Amino acid sequence: MKGYRLHIAETTLLLHPSGAAFWKEESTLFVADLHLGKSTTFRRGGIPIPAGSTTCTMDRLIDCIETLNASRLVVLGDLVHARCSWDKELQEGLARLSERLPKGNFLLVEGNHDLGSRSRWEDFSIERQVAPHPLGPWILLHDELTERPQASNDHRVYLAGHVHPAIKLRRFGETIRLRCFSLYNNCLTLAAFGSFTGAKTLDLSLGQQYFAIVDDEVISLT
């Protein structure tokens, strides 16, 4: 697995092929848009989507934490998919995750999909934060469009999710779509980490930097 070392905010972030961003300086792992329990929501809503993606996302996340030796986890919104996503699988998974982290080191910057589950966080020692939330050289958001302060002299870097960014590349009549991180105007938007998440293809524009996830690597494109 080969990530991309991004030098930013006078420190380094490792953009990991799983979709996470690791801040080595403080052993912190940033992820966004897990949408845990999404397939459960669909099944309860009458659409036969097979189970498996929630556990898969959880396994990948725990694997990431262990491989990178993270001691703090920050979720930039949409940890769960909906209020009706809660089932045994989800609860057990979150409990497993919570055990891995020292108490107080599991932060959630609430996203639009998390709103119905507010009463649950306590059970898993998840600390709820509201955007914009400062953390060292970063300002944490879920949705940059609605949560970023309009006029600000802040030189800190914004970290956000919500978008589920992807880019399309064309070659010899073939097109491929790749999940990516995007960096623009002092804001880094993370790829959606969850296994059962869609992605939004971004229009390529000047001044924007993209870090595409291609199999086991993260490649920088400008």
Partner 1 sequence: MTVSTRNHRLRPAGAWFEKCGWKPFAFQKQAWKAHLEGKSLLIHSATGTGKTLAAWMGPLLDGLANPIDAESWTKVRGKPASPPLMALWVTPLRALAGDTLFSLEQATAGLELPWTIESRTGDTSAYIKQRQRQRLPTVLVTTPESLTLMLSYPESTEHFRFLRAIVIDEWHELLGSKRGVLLELALGRLRTMRPDLRLTGISATLGNLEQALEVLVGPGSDRPTEIIHGRTDKKMVLSAAIPKNMERFPWAGHLGTRMSAPVAQAINSAATSLVFANTRNQTELWYQQLLQSDPNLAGLLALHHGSLDAEVRRWVEDALRAEKLKAVVCTSSLDLGVDFSAVDQVIQIGSPKGIARLLQRAGRSGHQPGAVSRLLFVPTNALELIELAAARKMIQRGQLEAREPVDSPLDLLAQHLVTRGLASPYQRDEIWLELRRTFAFSKLSPEELDWVIAFAKHGGDSLSHYEDFKRLEENEDGTLQVTNPQTARRHRMSIGTIVSEVAIQVRYMTGKNIGTVEEGFISKIKPGDRFLLAGRLLEFVHLRDSIAWVKKSKGTPTTVPRWVGGRMPLSSQLSQGIREQIEATSNGVFDGVEMKAVRPILELQRRWSHLPKANELLIEQIRTREGYQLFFFPFEGRLVHEGLATIIAHRLSRHRKITFSMAANDYGFVLQSAIDPNVSFGEIQSLFSKEGLMDDITAGLNATEMAKRQFRETARIAGLIQVGYPGEKRSGRHLQASSDLIFDVFQEYDPSNLLLQQARKEVLRNQFEWERLQRTLDRIHQCELVCRNPLRPTPLAFALLVDRLRERLSTETLADRVRRMQADLERAADAK
Report the interface residues with partner 1, using CB under 8 A.
39-53, 56, 81-82, 84, 87, 113, 173-174, 195-198
* Least distance between partner 1 and beta carbon 161 (Å): 17
Q: Which is nearer to partner 1, 107 or 202 (CB)?
A: 202
* Least distance between partner 1 and beta carbon 207 (Å): 18
Q: Where are the alpha helices (DSSP H) in 69-120?
A: 88-100
How far is Cα 78 from Cα 115, in angstroms, rounded to an integer? 9
Q: Which is nearer to partner 1, 48 or 104 (CB)?
A: 48
14 sits in the region (left: phi over 0; alpha: psi -120 to 50; else beta) called beta
Q: Which is nearer to partner 1, 45 or 134 (CB)?
A: 45
Q: Which is nearer to partner 1, 74 or 90 (CB)?
A: 90
Q: Which is nearer to partner 1, 102 or 173 (CB)?
A: 173
* Least distance between partner 1 and beta carbon 133 (Å): 25
The H or E element that residue 39 is part of is: helix 38-44
Question: What DSSP state is assigned to residue 71?
Answer: S
- Quote helix, strand, coil % in the chain, to nearest 5: 25, 35, 40
Q: Which is nearer to partner 1, 46 or 207 (CB)?
A: 46
Distance of CA 67 to the CA centre of its chain: 17
* Least distance between partner 1 and beta carbon 143 (Å): 15
* Least distance between partner 1 and beta carbon 80 (Å): 11
**Helix (H/G/I), strand (E/B), else coil: 204:** coil
Torsion of CA 44, 60, 22, 131, to 10 degrees: 10
Q: Which is nearer to partner 1, 55 or 208 (CB)?
A: 55
* Least distance between partner 1 and beta carbon 22 (Å): 26
Check if the beta carbon of residue 82 is closer than 8 Å to that of residue 44. Answer: no
* Least distance between partner 1 and beta carbon 204 (Å): 12
| Phi, psi of 96, deg, nearest 5 | -60, -45
Comparing CA positions, the residue from 126, 203, 198 lying closest to residue 164 is: 198
